[in-house]
Structure 1
Amino acid sequence: MHYFYESGENHMGFPIKEFIHSINQFETHWHEEIEILMVLKGSINIRVGNQQYTLKEEDLILINRNEIHNTFKTEEDNVLLAIQINTSCFDHCYVNLNKIHIDCKSFQCKKEEQEKFNRIKQRLAKIVWELNKKRKGYQLLIGSEVHLLLVDLINNFNYTLLEDNTLLSFNKETQRLQNIIQYIHQNIEGGITLQDVADSQNISIYYLSHFFKQYMGFSFQEYINYIRLDKAVILLTNTEQKITEIAFTSGFPSTKALNTCFKEAYNCTPTDYRRKYKNTPNTKKGKIEELRSRTYLDVDRNMALHLLFKYLELPEKNSKDNNPTYTLNEFIEINADDQVKEFLPFWKKLTCFGRASDGLREEFRDQLRELQKDIGFEYVRFHGIFCDDMLIINLNDNGDLVYNWYYVDKLFDFFKEINIKPFVELGFMPSEFGQSDITVFAWKANITLPKYIFLWTNLVKEFIKHCINRYGLKEVETWYFEVWNEPDLENVFWIGDKESYYEFFKETAMAVKSISPNLKVGGPSITYQTMIENNWLDEFFKYTITHQVPLDFVSFHIYSESYSSKKYAQDLWVRARKGEDAVSLLNSWKDLKRIYHDKDHTYNTIVSANQKINEFLQEKPEIHITEWNASSYGRNLINDTCFIATFIIYNVLRSTGKTDSLGFWTFTDIIEELKMGISSFHGGFGLINKDGIKKPSYYAYYFLSKLGHTIIDQGEDYIVTKEQDNIQILAYNFAYFDDLFIMGDTSLLTNEIRYLSFEEKPGKNINLQINGLSGNYKQISYELNRENGSAVDEWIKMGAPENMDKDEIQYLKGKSYPKVSIEKKELKNSYTESICVPVHGIVLIVLEKLI
C-alpha cells in the first residue's frame, strides 16, 4: 500500500505530467495539480473525500487540487491514463483558476450528456499522441491543447470558487493529515492505536477520529484494514501460506475479519481471489517487490490505448498522410577520387532459415535459389541438422547403430549447387540419444543432454568425416561448426545449467578438432540479453582458457526487443514443448510484453561484445551474429513493412568493421517454430513471404549487393561507394519506433494499419554533387518506399485477401519490385542530383561508366 503527496517537475517543461499505469494496491495521495483520470482497461475503485466510486472502461473523473483521494483495484486488472495540470502556470491568463473546484465525473451523467466528456477525452488523446510522436513544434501543439482543455472544463462543467480563507484552512489541514498518515505508516508493523496517533499529533482522540473521517472519507480503523488488506493480497498471490496464517501475518484479529474486508473490497473471498490470480504469469512465484513495482506493461494492454485513440481522427488504413508534409534538405559535395575506407560486404557473409529439413522442400529451394541469384550469400545457418526428421540415427537388424546421411547429402548438395556453404549449428539432440523426450518448437527439437557423451561426440565425428569424404577436406575446412543454439535459455533450448553447457562445448569442440585442427568451431550462440546482463559469457571465456578449449569464433544473437518478463517468455516455451494448443500459445505470445531497445541497440551490443572479447581473450576470434532481426516474434506485423528495409541498411552501415557477419533471421517465411502463419503477410521473419513474394527487406540486401568496395563518402542517411569507374549512391530515411511502441504498446499496429507505431519524420531531399566525374554514364535509379516495391502496402490496397490464387500472387510479385528509371548522362567533371527520400524509403543510384 502506498500513500504519497505527488510533486515534481512538469513533464518535459510543460505544465502537465502524464502517466499510463496500473493500480495494483491501495494508495492514498493528493497533489497541487488538478488530475484527470480515465480508465482505459478494466475498472478501479476510487474514494474522493467522503464519496466512493467504481470507475469502468472509458469512465473519467477530475480530481481537484489538494483533494485527497484513494485508489484501489477491483477484481479486474486495469490500465489508467492520468493527466495532471499545473494550473499555477495559467494565472497570467485566468486569475482565479487555482481557486476553482470543478465537478467532472462522466459516470454520473446520462448518455445525452456524454458529448462534453468526449471532448475532454479527445483533448487527452491529442496530448498523449503529441507527447508520443514528438512532431516538429509538438510543444506548442500540446500547450494549445491544454489551454483548450481548460476552456472546455470552465465552460461546460459546474464549478465553485473557493475563498482565500477556505484555501488557507484547507492547506493547513492537508499538512496535518500528511503528518498523521506518515506516522501511521512508520508504525503500522508494530501495531498502532488511535490513541498512539492522537498523542503523536498532540490532539484528542475525539478530534482525530472526526478529522480523519472528514478528510479521508473513512474511519481510522477502516484505513488500517485497507493497509492490512493490501498486504494480504500480496501474500495470497505470492506465497503458499494458509488463509489463517495470512490473516494474522497481515494484522487481522481473525480469519473472519479478513473475509469481511475482502468481500467488501473485492466482492469475493480470499480463497476465490487466490484461485483466480495465483497462477497468472505476472504473480506466479513472484517477489513482493516485483508485484509492488508492477506497471501497465505487466497486464494485457494491447487494446488499452486503442480505446483512447478512438477519439482521434487517425489516418485511414493505408494512408501515407500520417507523416509530416515538410521536407528536410541536405547538401553534400564530395570528390569521386576520395577513398574513405574499404567496404567489405560482411553482411553478405551469412543468411539463415528455420530448420534443416525445410531445405528439402521445393518451394523453399525456389526461394533460396532466387536469393542467391539476386544477392549471393556466402553461408547459410539453420537449426536441426541432427533432428529426427533428418532420419540420421538408425538401428540395423542386429541392433547396431547405423547412420543414414541421405537427407544431409540432399541438403548439402543443394547448397553446393547454388554456391552457398553451410554454417552448421550442431544440434539438436537425436531423440534416441537424449536423456529425456523434452522438446521445443512445433517440429519437436530435443533439447536435452545426451545419455552418454560419447554418443554425441561420435555422431559429430562421423558427420564431419562423411562431409569430408563427400566434399573434400579443403572445402569442409571453410565451413563453420557452431555448438548448439541459445544454451543460456535454460529449460527453453537447453535442459541443464551453464556449467553443463561449458563441458558439452568442450567435448564437442574437441571432437571437431580431432578430425582436423583447421576445422572452425565456436559458439556459444547465446542471446544478447545474457551477454550484456550477467557474467555467463565471461565465465564461458574463462572456462575455455582454463581448459584450453578451442574457440575459433564467438557467436551470439541480437534482437531489438527485451521482455518485461523473461520468466514469462521461458514459461511459454516450456508450454510449447509440452504440446499445448498452438492457438492458445499464439495468444499468450501476443500478450508477452515486448519492450524495444533504442535504434542503436545492434551497434551498441556488437561494441559491448568486442569489449568483452578483448578483455578476456588474447587472440581475437571471429565474431558472428548468427541471428539478428528487429523482432524475435514471428508474428510481428512490422516484419512485412518498409521499416525493416531501412532497419537493415541503417544497422549494416553502422556495424561495418565491428563484426564478421550479421545473419538476418530469416530469409523466408517458410518456418514452423509455432506452425506456419496463416495470413499471406502475418509478420513472419522472412525477406520473402510463404507465397514467394519479396518483401521490402529483400531489396535492402539487393541494394547493398550493388554497392562498390570503396567508400567515397558516408553520412547518417547515405553512403557513396565506388567500384572501378562506377559510382553507387544509397540514401535512406530511417524512422524508428515511437515511444509507446518502444514501451510495448501495440494498440496502433493491426493487420491493415502498420505504420502508426513509428516516430514521425519528414521526407528528405539530398542535394548531391560529386566532382571529378567526366564522360558518358548510364544512370540506373531504384526507389523503394510504400508506393513503390512494398508488397504489403499493395496487398492492403487489394483488400488484404487471404488464400490468394496464382493470378493475385503473380500480381503482387510484380508490384513488389522497386521503381526503376534509366537515363544517360554526359558529365563534364561533375555530377549533381537531387534525391527525394520519403520516410521508410530507400533510393539507390548506380552510375555505370560507358565506353
Structure 2
Amino acid sequence: MEYFYEIVEWYDGFPVKAFIHSVGGFKTHWHNEIEILLVLEGEVNIGVGDKEYTLKENDLILINRNQVHNISRTKSDNMLLALQIDPSMFSNYYSEFAKMIFNCKSFIYGQEEQKAFDIIRHYMAKVVWNFNKKKQGFQLTIASQVYLLADYLVNNFATGIIDREKEEMNDKDLARLQAILIYINENLGSKITLNDIAEKEHLSYYYVSHFIKEKLGMTFQDYLNTLRLNKSFSLLLDSSKTITEISYESGFSSTKFFNKLFKEKFNCSPTEYRKYNMNVDSKVKSLTNNKEIYKSRTYLDVNRKAGLKKLLSYLQPQEIQNQDKNNYKTNVEYIFANAEEKGKHFKHYWKKLTTFSRASEGLRAQWQGQLKEVQREIGFEYIRFHSIFSDDMMVCNINDEGNIVYNWSYIDEILDFFKEVNIKPFIELSFMPSELKKTDEVTFWWKANISQPKHIKLWTNLVEEFIKHCINRYGLKEVETWYFEVWNEPDIEHMFWIGGKDNYFEFYKETALAVKSVSDRLKVGGPSITHQAIFDGTWLEDFLVYCSHNNLPLDFVSLHIYPESYESKKKVQNIMLRSKQGESQNQLVAEWINMQRIYFDKNHTYDTINSAKDMIDNSCLSGPEIHITEWNASSYGRNLIHDTCFIATFIIRNIVNCINTVDSLGYWTFTDIMEETKAGISAFHGGFGLINKNGLKKPSYFAYYLLSKLGKIIIEQGEEHIITREDEDIQVLAYNYAYFDDLFLKGDTSSLTNSERYLVFEEKPTKEIVINISGLEGYYKITRYQLNREDGSVFDEWIKMGMPENMTQEELEYLGGKVRPNITVGYLKVKGEYKERLYIPVHGVELITLEKKI
C-alpha cells in the first residue's frame, strides 16, 4: 500500500465533509484538513505519527493538519464517523485557527470527563443529520455548527501553534518528499537504506534522516516497516502464499521479524489474522478489486443499525424532529391554467387494477366488507391475486379411481362476489396444486407450491377446464374481458419458481396455448417479473424474443415494480442456493424479507416503465398491453412507512407522472388482511394495504379516493400538481412530496420506529401555491379536500390516541370517524378567473373541485 497525500474532494465546494464507513484494511496518509474520527461500533487501530492507539466504541480522536496517520481494523468489525474540515473556512474570521495544534483524544480520560467530548460528539451528529436531510440551506446550518465546534476546540483543546516554517511544505520540499516516497515504494522488496536515499538525492545521511522524521512524523525505519506491513496485509488477504513467502516478498529481513512487527500492530500473528478474516466471509476481499484492498468498506457494507442509533443518541430529541413543524414557507409557486384550454384526454388508468394476496382470503366476511367499501368509494375495474389453484382453494382432488376431479365451489364463491361488487378478475395462474406438483418446494407461510407440474398435460387440462367452467357460469363475452397471467415472479428462482428461465418459457407457451385453445379472444400474458430482472439482465428481452420466434400469444406484458433492491446480491444468491439444496423455505423467505433494503431514486417507477416500454417497442411483437401487477413503495410487508402520509403522495406523484405510459399500475395491496408471513400483529404493522386489518382507511386509501375525483381532460400539469376538467367542472390536485433521506436510501432504518415514522424523509417546508384559473364564468360550488398528518391520517391519530392495540369497537369507531380528509364547502360567483392560495405541509395533498351550478 502506498503512503500518500490525500486530496479531499468536497461536495460542491463545501469545505466540510462527513461520512460513515467501516475500515476493512490498512492505509497510511495525510491531508491538509482537520479530521475527527468517532468510533460508533467495534474498535480500530489508529496510528498518528509514531504513536499507536486502539479506539473502541464511543472513542474519538482529532487528527491535526498534515499529521501522518493510518487506520486498520482489529478482529472486530467497526463503524466510524469521520468529519473533515478545511481550516481555511475560518481564515476570514480567525486566521490563527489553521496554525493551531489540538490535543483531543477522549480515550485518555475517564468516564467522568467524557462530558467535554460529548459536546464534540453532539456537533458531529448534528452535522451528519443535516447532511442527511439536505433541507434548503443545509450548508448554512452545517457551517454554523462547525463554527461552534471550532470555537469549542480553540477554547478547550488547543495546545500550541505550528511553527511558521513547518506550517506549509514549500514546493521544493514537497517535490523532494514525493521523490523519496516514490523511490521507497518502487524498491520496497529490496534492501533499502538511508544511505541509498541520501546518495540519490545528493544529501547527507543526517539531513535525510531529519527531513523524513520532520515531514512524516516518524523515522525512516518506522515508515519502511509500515509500508511493508501494508503490503503483507494485502498478500495475507489476497493470496494463498505462505507466511514465509509473504514475509520476504514484503521486504522483511526474516519471518521472525515480520511476525514480531505484525503482532505488535494487530495483537495477533499473521496466521491468526488470515484465518480470522477468511472465516468472516472474506469481507474485505469481496468488496473491491485487489489493488484497492486497503480502502474502507462503503457505507452499505456495514451492519450499522446499532451504530446509527448510537450516533442519533448524541442529539437532543427535539433536534431530530421537524422543529418548526414545517410552518415556514419557500418561494411561492404560481400555477396558471385556462379552463377553456382544449387539453388532452387521458384514462383513469389507476382505477384499472387493484390487488390482494391470495384467493382464499377473499372468502372471509371482513375482507369482503373492505372490498365493498373500496368499490363504493373508488371503483376499481379489475382485481389481481395469487393462488387460484392452491390447496386451500381445494380445486384438485383424487377420486377412488385415482383420477383428478375438480371442485370449483370456492372459486365460484369468490368470482360471484367479484361480480356482485362490479370488479373483474385479473387471474394469476399459480401456484401448483399438490396433486399436480413435481417437487415439494413451497413459499410463504401458507406453503404455496412453486414447482412445475409433474406432467404439463395435467396443468394445461386444469387451466382449460377452469376457463370452460367460468364460461359456462358467466358467459363467453364476460370471460373474454378477463386477464389470465401466467405465474408470479419466475425470475426469482427457488423463491417463486423452480426450473430456470428456459423452463418458464416452455411453461408459458403451454399455458398460453391452453388458454387460447378455449377461445382465441381470451387475454393471456406474463411474465410477471420484477424490476430487477429488467435492469440486471436480459430476462424480458429473452422472453419477448421467445414469444416472437415461437409465434406465441402475448396480449399483455406484466411487471412488478418496487423502488428498492437488496444490500447484497451475494446474500440473495446464497438464499437461492440454500433453497435449491432443500433448506426450510419458510426460514429462507423470512431471511429474504428481512434483508436490508436500499432504495432507488424517486423516479424509479417511471424509469422502469419506460425501459420496459423501449424493450417491448423494439421487439417484433404487435403492441401488447403493459400492466404493472404489483407496485408499492416497498416489497416488505412490515415496512412501517406503509401506514404514513408519505404513501399518499408516493401514489399520487407516480400515478400522475406515469399517465399514458402503462395500461394499469396495480398497488399491492388494497388490504392488510394477508398472510404471506402470518397476519400482522399490530394495528399498524406496516402492512401493504390501503386499509388496515381492522377496516381503518390509511392515507394511501384517500390518495385513490381523491384521484377518483379528477376529470378526464388535463388542462395543466406540473411537477407536483395536475388540473383537469370534466364538462364544465374543474379539479385541482396538488401535493408536497418528500422522498427518503440519504440514510434511509442507503438502507439505514435506525430512525424508523413504531411510534416515529417520519424521520426517514428528506426535509421540506410547507409549500405555498397560488392558483389562477382563467376562462371561468358562472356560479360554482367550491369543495376543498385536505389530506395530511392532521387530517385523514389514521396512523397519526392512533399515535395521538396512545397507540392502543387490540382495540375495542368503541376505539375503532372513534378512529374511523376521525380519519377522513378535511372537507370545506363554499359557493362563489366567478367572473373570468378563479384564484386560490394553498399552504400544503410536507406529505400533504389538497384537492379543489369547482362544480358548475345553474
Q: Same fold (TM over 0.5)?
A: yes
- 1:351 deviates by 0.9
Alpha-carbon distance between aligned partners in 2 of 1:824 and 1:100, rounded to the nearest angstrom: 70
- 1:840 deviates by 0.7
Q: How does 1:445-844 map to 2 (within 5 A)?
A: 445-569=448-572, 571-572=574-575, 589-590=593-594, 592-844=595-847
Match status 1:155 vs 2:159? no
**In 2 relative to 1, CA 319–16 (structure 1 residues): closer, same or farther, beyond 3 Å?**
closer
Match status 1:400 vs 2:391? no
Deviations 1:768-788 (A, max 9, x none): 233333333322221110001
User: Higher mean Cα deviation, 259-268 or 654-663?
Assistant: 259-268
Q: How many residues align?
A: 843
**In 2 relative to 1, CA 463–51 (structure 1 residues): closer, same or farther, beyond 3 Å?**
same
Q: Equivalent residue of 1:752, what SS?
A: coil
User: Higher mean Cα deviation, 487-496 or 257-266?
Assistant: 257-266
Q: Which residue of 1 aligns with 2:231?
A: 227
When the two structures are superposed, what TM-score results if normalisation uses the length of structure 1? 0.91
- 1:333 deviates by 3.5
Q: Equivalent residue of 1:96, what SS?
A: helix
Alpha-carbon distance between aligned partners in 2 of 1:806 and 1:273, rounded to the nearest angstrom: 62
Q: Which residue of 1 aligns with 2:45?
A: 45
Q: Equivalent residue of 1:616, what SS?
A: coil
Q: Which residue of 2 aligns with 1:355?
A: 358
Q: Which residue of 2 aligns with 1:214?
A: 218
User: Higher mean Cα deviation, 489-498 or 21-30?
Assistant: 489-498
User: Higher mean Cα deviation, 580-589 or 290-299?
Assistant: 580-589
**In 2 relative to 1, CA 424–284 (structure 1 residues): closer, same or farther, beyond 3 Å?**
farther
- 1:63 deviates by 0.8
Alpha-carbon distance between aligned partners in 1 of 2:700 and 2:668, rounded to the nearest angstrom: 12
- 1:703 deviates by 0.5
- 1:586 deviates by 5.5
**In 2 relative to 1, CA 248–45 (structure 1 residues): closer, same or farther, beyond 3 Å?**
closer
Q: Is the 8 A contact 1:49 1:215 kept in 2?
A: no
Q: How does 1:159-170 map to 2 (within 5 A)?
A: 159-167=159-167
Deviations 1:706-733 (A, max 9, x none): 1111122222222222222322221111
- 1:314 deviates by 3.9
Alpha-carbon distance between aligned partners in 2 of 1:689 and 1:608, rounded to the nearest angstrom: 34
- 1:848 deviates by 2.5
**In 2 relative to 1, CA 38–175 (structure 1 residues): closer, same or farther, beyond 3 Å?**
farther
Deviations 1:642-674 (A, max 9, x none): 010011111111100011000101111122222
**In 2 relative to 1, CA 767–488 (structure 1 residues): closer, same or farther, beyond 3 Å?**
same
User: Higher mean Cα deviation, 104-113 or 225-234?
Assistant: 225-234
Residue of 845, 848, 852 corresponding to 1:849 = 852
Alpha-carbon distance between aligned partners in 2 of 1:325 and 1:755, rounded to the nearest angstrom: 18
Alpha-carbon distance between aligned partners in 1 of 2:805 and 2:249, rounded to the nearest angstrom: 56
Match status 1:383 vs 2:386? yes
Q: Equivalent residue of 1:11, what SS?
A: coil
Q: Equivalent residue of 2:95, what SS?
A: coil
Paired amino acid for 1:278: N
Deviations 1:756-808 (A, max 9, x none): 22122121232223333333332222111000110111111122222222222
User: Higher mean Cα deviation, 124-133 or 476-485?
Assistant: 124-133
Q: Which residue of 2 aligns with 1:115?
A: 115
Deviations 1:264-316 (A, max 9, x none): 62658957975787365968988866986731211211233332233333438
- 1:172 deviates by 7.6
Residue of 292, 305, 309 corresponding to 1:306 = 309
Alpha-carbon distance between aligned partners in 1 of 2:651 and 2:31, rounded to the nearest angstrom: 47
Q: Which residue of 2 aligns with 1:202?
A: 200
Alpha-carbon distance between aligned partners in 2 of 1:823 and 1:502, rounded to the nearest angstrom: 59
Match status 1:25 vs 2:25? yes
**In 2 relative to 1, CA 365–177 (structure 1 residues): closer, same or farther, beyond 3 Å?**
farther
Alpha-carbon distance between aligned partners in 2 of 1:342 and 1:129, rounded to the nearest angstrom: 45
Q: Which residue of 2 aligns with 1:417?
A: 420
Deviations 1:377-405 (A, max 9, x none): 11111111222222222211111122222
Aligned residues: CA RMSD: 3.4
**In 2 relative to 1, CA 244–64 (structure 1 residues): closer, same or farther, beyond 3 Å?**
closer
Q: Which residue of 1 aligns with 2:102?
A: 102
Alpha-carbon distance between aligned partners in 1 of 2:177 and 2:87, rounded to the nearest angstrom: 23
Q: Is the 8 A contact 1:502 1:540 kept in 2?
A: yes
When the two structures are superposed, what TM-score results if normalisation uses the length of structure 2? 0.91
Deviations 1:430-475 (A, max 9, x none): 2333332112211212222222222222222222222222222111
User: Higher mean Cα deviation, 207-216 or 406-415?
Assistant: 207-216
Aligned residues with identical type, % of pairs: 51
Alpha-carbon distance between aligned partners in 1 of 2:816 and 2:91, rounded to the nearest angstrom: 62
**In 2 relative to 1, CA 374–268 (structure 1 residues): closer, same or farther, beyond 3 Å?**
farther
Deviations 1:306-345 (A, max 9, x none): 3223333343898673436225423333332223111310
Q: Which residue of 2 aligns with 1:56?
A: 56
**In 2 relative to 1, CA 77–815 (structure 1 residues): closer, same or farther, beyond 3 Å?**
farther
Alpha-carbon distance between aligned partners in 2 of 1:698 and 1:49, rounded to the nearest angstrom: 61
User: Higher mean Cα deviation, 172-181 or 301-310?
Assistant: 172-181
- 1:542 deviates by 1.4
**In 2 relative to 1, CA 166–825 (structure 1 residues): closer, same or farther, beyond 3 Å?**
closer
Q: Which residue of 1 aligns with 2:88?
A: 88
Paired amino acid for 2:27: E
**In 2 relative to 1, CA 286–256 (structure 1 residues): closer, same or farther, beyond 3 Å?**
farther
**In 2 relative to 1, CA 849–170 (structure 1 residues): closer, same or farther, beyond 3 Å?**
closer
**In 2 relative to 1, CA 827–365 (structure 1 residues): closer, same or farther, beyond 3 Å?**
same
Q: Equivalent residue of 2:332, what SS?
A: strand
Paired amino acid for 2:348: P
Q: Is the 8 A contact 1:48 1:217 kept in 2?
A: no
User: Higher mean Cα deviation, 559-568 or 46-55?
Assistant: 559-568
Paired amino acid for 1:566: K
**In 2 relative to 1, CA 662–244 (structure 1 residues): closer, same or farther, beyond 3 Å?**
same
Alpha-carbon distance between aligned partners in 2 of 1:530 and 1:183, rounded to the nearest angstrom: 50
Q: Is the 8 A contact 2:495 2:589 kept in 1?
A: no
Paired amino acid for 2:218: Q
Q: Equivalent residue of 1:13, what SS?
A: coil
**In 2 relative to 1, CA 399–581 (structure 1 residues): closer, same or farther, beyond 3 Å?**
closer
- 1:575 deviates by 6.7
Q: Is the 8 A contact 1:297 1:593 kept in 2?
A: no
